[in-house]
Amino acid sequence: MDYITLNNGRKVPMCGIGTFLMQPDAAEEAVCNALMCGYRLIDTANAYLNERACGRGMRRSGVAREDIYLSTKLWPSVYADADNAIDQTLARLDTDYVDLLFLHQPAGDYIGAYRAMERAVKAGKVRALGLSNFEIPQIREVLDACEIAPAFLQVEAHPYFPQTELKAFLQPLGSVIMAWYPLGHGDKNLVNEPVFTALARKYGKSNAQIILRWHTQVGNVVIPGSTNPAHIRDNIDIFDFTLTDAEMAEIAQVDSGRRYYEAKPEMLEGYLQFAPDFDDQP
């Protein structure tokens, strides 16, 4: 495993497991399985409705809580009552603290919610803060209003959309990209790009492993989602080879500026309307 050192001095594993779209049983199984394979970074969110299950998976794995880097996200519908929402999130995960807490979307009173997350850091409930799906002007707004710089930006990033502009903006802040859709959500067009097939053959790896290694070599932390035990095992087995500068440059040619998801203002309004009872989950 490679690690990256954050702007708060903490070392974080560069590869973890994501749990988006996983039903509770599947999330529990995937988290437990991943931890038993050597993963130490877990990413979930209020909105995935599987936080309790992730907590169960962590406990079932037998891995000590302090050895796990646990990341979750507040959904916009709880921003107005973020202090309570943080306590409820911790209760669902059955833990006293999370290592990383994100604002999931730039909707609603995100400045007020960020301030609540800063209070939670001071209270020892949260170790580091992050923003997810925020664009540069919104990140600037948070930086101007708040005390603690975000350690992570969790955004869509993959070889088709490597987030070059955002990376340059974050570099002086020491904030790191945590890539969502690191494998393009499994898009076969991306995974089967000829450059990955050629490099997979050279290194005796799969195309997905080449993509994940590219991410870590450009400094991204990755959280590929998988419920498939073979994929879970493979996705962390990427640190025993290094792509050359020439190979990294070749992969850079795949950048097409294509992202799979782009938030429109009306979507942000919709996010505020999505307000299930987050405690209502097995």
Within 107-126, the residues that bind ligand NAP by CB under 6 A are none
Question: In this complex, which beta carbon is closest to ligand NAP, that of residue 27 or of residue 82?
Answer: 27
**Is the CB of 114 or the CB of 181 nearer to ligand NAP?**
181
* Three-state secondary structure string covering 178-235: EEECCCHHHCHHHHCCHHHHHHHHHHCCCHHHHHHHHHHHCCCEECCECCCHHHHHHH
Q: Which of 132, 163, 216, 217 binds ligand NAP (CB under 6 A)?
A: 132
Q: Does 203 bind ligand NAP (CB under 6 A)?
A: no
186 binds ligand NAP, rule: CB under 6 A: yes
43/99 with CB nearer ligand NAP: 43
Catalytic residue among 48, 110, 181, 271: 48
The verdict on 130 binding ligand NAP (CB under 6 A) reads: no
State yes or no: residue 175 binds ligand NAP (CB under 6 A): no
Residue 39 is among the residues annotated as catalytic for this protein: no
Per CB under 6 A, does 231 bind ligand NAP?
Answer: yes
253 belongs to the binding site for ligand NAP (CB under 6 A): no
Please tell me the distance from the alpha carbon of residue 130 to that of residue 152, in angstroms, as a whole number. 5
**Binds ligand NAP by CB under 6 A, chosen from 61, 154, 175, 216:** 154
**Cβ distance to ligand NAP smaller for residue 20 or 97:** 20
List the interface residues with ligand NAP, window 50-79 (CB under 6 A).
Answer: none
Shortest approach of ligand NAP to residue 37 CB, angstroms?
Answer: 12
Exactly one of 7, 20, 25, 80 binds ligand NAP (CB under 6 A); that residue is: 20
Residues assigned a catalytic role: 48
- For ligand NAP, the binding residues (CB under 6 A) are 18-20, 43, 104, 132-133, 154, 180-186, 206, 208, 223-228, 231, 234-235
